[in-house]
């Protein structure tokens, strides 16, 4: 620091003594509690400035997980192919393909694979020694872009000191090779090699992905959504953009009857009751008893479930079909009652139970009259079709209690609220699950919310605030009731950013033969975002520069086998739903995408179907992926180019101000 004409300079910062306001001094005084001296502030400034020049961390973007826990878990374990690449880079010239695959599999599944490999060894000590050296080398590779401090925070407590010494000193200080060799030998001699190998493998996995972004739809289709959420809750850095299937479960947890019925119906349709019964312990016994009473003699052939799935009654499709029909009728009634309360949703034409001629067995849709495939409705009063039968009311009350009082479900939903949102802006990328609703002419579309017509970014902000009230506002309050209903609109409303279609044709799929009536119609968004100008317009709506930014969303599976491209709008839009769910493999031709953003560029990894965890461990079958380069940076991206870097830069500026205040005597040093 030096003085020029009454001004003080610290490097590139010029400050006049009189520029310190009373409010700033209050803030700097609070900051001084964490950095109580010139030395402490200076040390932190040096640290922050050094971090800014490190390469940016690797971000992974995944979408539409749909309960496929095994495939999702494997993607995390192999970092969507990144770890295998690191193994190949480290040992491509010294190890054969089989040895590299074995090492990679050990990193993915250290506990299970370790036991198998040990059985194959004739000289276990030598194998331990070689394996430890190889893992240390891979660990050095994946930790190279992080500060030593950040790596230390990720280290397992039991081996923190030893791992720190080995990955930061090994091969860099030849004079100390005997010291490091002795460390390895001692680990083996005292019987800690297994635990040390597991710790190294878990550290490699932890450091391979710096940030994880989930672009919606964790729930439904597959059986493991609850396990995915358990995994995400343990993850070091994750954010979630809600999908329409997530919001349906969130609404169910909030006690919305239509959402609860929708959740159960989908589980029945796909014969997938694992998540409900085994994952959350939600009993369907009251519903099953009601269904048997009302539909015991009904073949319910229209409601026969698909094959697969699980749960306590999964092996009895006849019983499931009756539950399926019972909950579908309950859903249609609950939805009709909700829509009657909300004419502003513009969905009165979807109150379909009132459009049935129960004597003829027909329904009127628009100008047409259609014959129903199923005409047995023992719980419907033709004079008041939306009124619930007394036993339906009691069954629904029990289901509401079961969902709202389920501690594990509530824990997961609170996590979705704390880490989730309608959209997120991160590192010049705009993340959302479905769409930004558009009219046919390309203008922003929306709905009336609390008396205000909202479109674009204000629509997403308003909807998010409303659903948060629907979950957290006091029970029975106006905010809670309105917010609870919005969950359902977000699931299937025509201008829902999470749904992105004109209508949900649940009724038509069950009750009508005419396939053309099941067409739900995509929002105009999906037509316009093929063009760069619309992508630019959306980015500008969210305050982003079209020259530097991208839109990343999922929701609509990209049919690769039909030639569809996930990169649209002149490279501005990336749709990363590649069909991770097994139900979509036949449509897409692949089994999911991972978008990877690192310091060098952005890449899409297109994955082939995952066999199973068992075959991955025993037969070393990895997910094979084809990498597509989306964008390569001319200059390597550094931490200073990221949102975290901008935050660190502001912290550094604040500390420079504190340093100046110390030196001018404006604030006393505390030590």
- How is 210-278 classified by DSSP, letter by letter? SEEEE-S--SSSSS-HHHHHHHHHH-SSEEEEPPHHHHHHHHHHTT-HHHHHHHHHHHHHTT--IIIII
Q: How far apart are CA 558 and CA 655, in angstroms?
A: 48
pLDDT score of 17: 54
Q: How far apart are CA 236 and CA 344, in angstroms?
A: 42
Q: How many CA atoms lie within 13 A of 203 on its CB side?
A: 31
Condensed to tens digits (0 to 9), the pLDDT of residues 87-115 reads 999 998 899 999 999 999 999 999 999 99
pLDDT score of 172: 54
pLDDT digits (tens, 9 = 90+) for 11-21: 545 545 558 89
Mean pLDDT computed over 449-473? 96
Contact in structure between 390 and 404 (CB atoms under 8 Å): no
Length of the chain: 671
Distance (Å, rounded) from C-alpha 663 to C-alpha 669? 9
Does residue 566 surpass a pLDDT of 80? yes
Q: Is pLDDT at 423 greater than 90 in this prediction?
A: yes
* Confidence class for position 174, pLDDT limits 50, 70, 90: low
CA separation for the pair 166, 168 (Å, rounded)? 6
In the chain, % of residues over pLDDT 70 = 95
In this prediction, residue 309 carries a pLDDT of 45
How many other CB atoms are there within 10 angstroms of residue 507's CB atom?
23
HSE at residue 184, side-chain half, CA atoms within 13 A, is 23
Q: How far apart are CA 460 and CA 398, in angstroms?
A: 33
Judge contact between 287 and 399, C-beta under 8 A. yes
List the single range of 152-156, 197-201, 497-501, 623-627 with lowest mean pLDDT. 623-627
Q: What is the pTM of this model?
A: 0.92
pLDDT (0 to 100) of residue 311:
44
**Per-residue pLDDT averaged across 614-632, rounded?**
87
Q: What average pLDDT does this structure show over 599-614?
A: 89
The Cα–Cα gap between 197 and 201 comes to 6
The strand pairing partners of 597, in sequence order, are 59, 602
Element (H, E) at 51: helix 38-52
Is the model's pLDDT at 528 over the cut of 50?
yes
Spatial distance between the Cα atoms of 332 and 385, rounded to a whole number of angstroms: 10
Question: Which residue is listed with tokens 């450091």?
Answer: 207
Q: SS3 for 541? A: helix
Exposure of 483 in the CB half-sphere (CA atoms within 13 A): 21
pLDDT at residue number 252: 98
Q: Which two tokens stand for residue 392?
A: 């339906």
Least confident of 225-234, 278-287, 355-364, 551-560: 551-560
d(CA 118, CA 111): 11
Distances 550 to 360, 540, 571 between C-alpha atoms, Å: 54, 11, 8
Give which of 447, 490, 448, 446 is closest to 468, Cα–Cα: 490
Token reading at 594: 């991972």
CA torsion through residues 342, 343, 345, 348, sign: positive
Q: Helix axis angle, 110-119 relative to 193-208, nearest 10°?
A: 140
Using 50, 70 and 90 to split pLDDT, how confident is the model at 6? very low
pLDDT averaged over every residue in the chain:
91
Compute the distance between CA of residue 546 and CA of residue 535 in angstroms, rounded to an integer: 8
Residue 360: phi and psi, rounded to 5, are: -80, -25
CB burial of 384-411 (b: ≥16 within 10 Å; e: otherwise) equals ebbbbbeebeebbeebbebbeebeebbe
| Backbone CA torsion sign across 334, 335, 337, 338 | positive
Residue 130 has pLDDT above 70, yes or no: yes
Domain assignments of the chain as residue spans, ordered by start: 2-54+641-664, 59-215+554-637, 241-408
Query: Predicted confidence band at 171 (pLDDT cuts at 50, 70, 90)?
Result: low
Alpha carbon separation from 531 to 308, 378, 535, 570 (Å, rounded): 40, 51, 7, 7
CA atoms of 630 and 156, how far apart (whole Å)? 36
d(CA 662, CA 35): 11
Quick check: 258 pLDDT over 50? yes
């Amino acid at each position: 620091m030096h003085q020029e004409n009454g001004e003080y300079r610290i490097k590139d910062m010029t400050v006049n003594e009189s520029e310190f306001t009373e409010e700033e001094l209050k803030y700097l005084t609070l900051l001084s509690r964490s950095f109580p001296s010139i030395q402490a502030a200076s040390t932190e400034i040096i640290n922050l400035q050094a971090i800014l020049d490190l390469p940016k961390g690797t971000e992974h973007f995944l979408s539409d997980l749909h309960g496929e826990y095994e495939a999702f878990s494997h993607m995390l374990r192999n970092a969507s192919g990144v770890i295998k690449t690191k193994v190949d880079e480290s040992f491509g010239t010294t190890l054969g393909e089989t040895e590299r695959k074995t090492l990679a599999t050990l990193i993915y599944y250290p506990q299970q694979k370790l036991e198998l490999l040990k059985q194959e060894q004739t000289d276990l000590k030598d194998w331990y020694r070689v394996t430890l050296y190889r893992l240390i080398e891979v660990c050095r590779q994946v930790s190279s872009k992080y500060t030593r401090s950040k790596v230390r925070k990720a280290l397992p407590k039991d081996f923190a000191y030893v791992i720190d010494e080995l990955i930061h000193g090994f091969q860099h200080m030849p004079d100390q090779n005997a010291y490091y060799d002795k460390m390895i030998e001692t680990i083996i001699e005292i019987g800690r090699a297994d635990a040390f190998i597991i710790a190294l493998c878990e550290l490699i996995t932890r450091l391979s992905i710096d940030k994880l972004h989930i672009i919606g739809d964790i729930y439904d289709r597959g059986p493991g959504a609850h396990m995915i959420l358990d995994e995400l809750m343990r993850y070091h850095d994750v954010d979630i953009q809600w999908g329409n299937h997530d919001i349906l479960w969130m609404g169910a947890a909030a006690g919305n009857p239509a959402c609860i019925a929708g959740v159960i119906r989908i589980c029945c349709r796909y014969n997938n009751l694992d998540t409900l019964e085994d994952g959350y312990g939600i009993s369907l016994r009251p519903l099953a008893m009601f269904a048997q009473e009302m539909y015991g003699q009904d073949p319910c052939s229209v409601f026969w479930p698909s094959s697969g799935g699980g749960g306590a009654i999964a092996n009895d499709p006849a019983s499931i079909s009756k539950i399926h029909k019972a909950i579908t009728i309950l859903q249609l009634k609950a939805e009709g009652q909700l829509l009657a309360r909300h004419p502003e949703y513009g969905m009165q034409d979807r109150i379909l139970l009132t459009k049935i001629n129960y004597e003829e067995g027909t329904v009127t849709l628009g100008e047409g009259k259609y014959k129903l495939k199923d005409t047995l409705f023992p719980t419907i009063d033709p004079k008041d079709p939306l009124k619930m039968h007394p036993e339906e009311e009691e069954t629904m009350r029990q289901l509401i209690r079961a969902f709202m009082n389920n501690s594990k479900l509530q824990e997961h939903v609170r996590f979705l609220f704390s880490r989730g949102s309608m959209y997120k802006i991160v590192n010049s990328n705009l993340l959302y699950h479905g769409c930004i609703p558009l009219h046919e002419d390309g203008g922003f579309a929306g709905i009336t919310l609390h008396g205000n017509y909202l479109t674009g970014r204000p629509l997403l902000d308003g909807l998010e605030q409303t659903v948060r009230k629907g979950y957290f506002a006091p029970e029975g309050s106006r905010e809670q009731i309105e917010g609870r209903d919005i969950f359902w609109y977000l699931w299937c409303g025509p201008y829902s950013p999470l749904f992105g279609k004109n209508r949900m044709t649940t009724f038509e799929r069950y009750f009508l033969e005419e396939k053309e009536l099941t067409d739900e119609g995509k929002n105009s968004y999906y037509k316009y975002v093929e063009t760069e100008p619309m992508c630019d317009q959306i980015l500008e709506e969210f305050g982003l520069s079209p020259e530097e930014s991208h839109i990343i969303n999922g929701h609509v599976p990209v049919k690769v086998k039909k030639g569809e491209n996930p990169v649209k709008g002149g490279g501005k839009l990336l749709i990363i739903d590649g069909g991770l769910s097994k139900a979509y493999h036949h449509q897409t031709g692949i089994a999911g995408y991972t978008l990877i953003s690192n310091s060098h560029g952005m890449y899409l990894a297109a994955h082939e179907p995952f066999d199973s965890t068992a075959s991955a461990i025993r037969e070393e079958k990895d997910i094979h992926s084809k990498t597509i380069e989306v964008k390569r940076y001319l200059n390597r991206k550094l931490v200073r180019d990221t949102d975290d870097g901008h935050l660190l830069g502001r912290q550094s500026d604040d500390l420079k101000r504190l340093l100046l205040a110390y030196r001018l005597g404006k604030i006393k040093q505390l030590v």
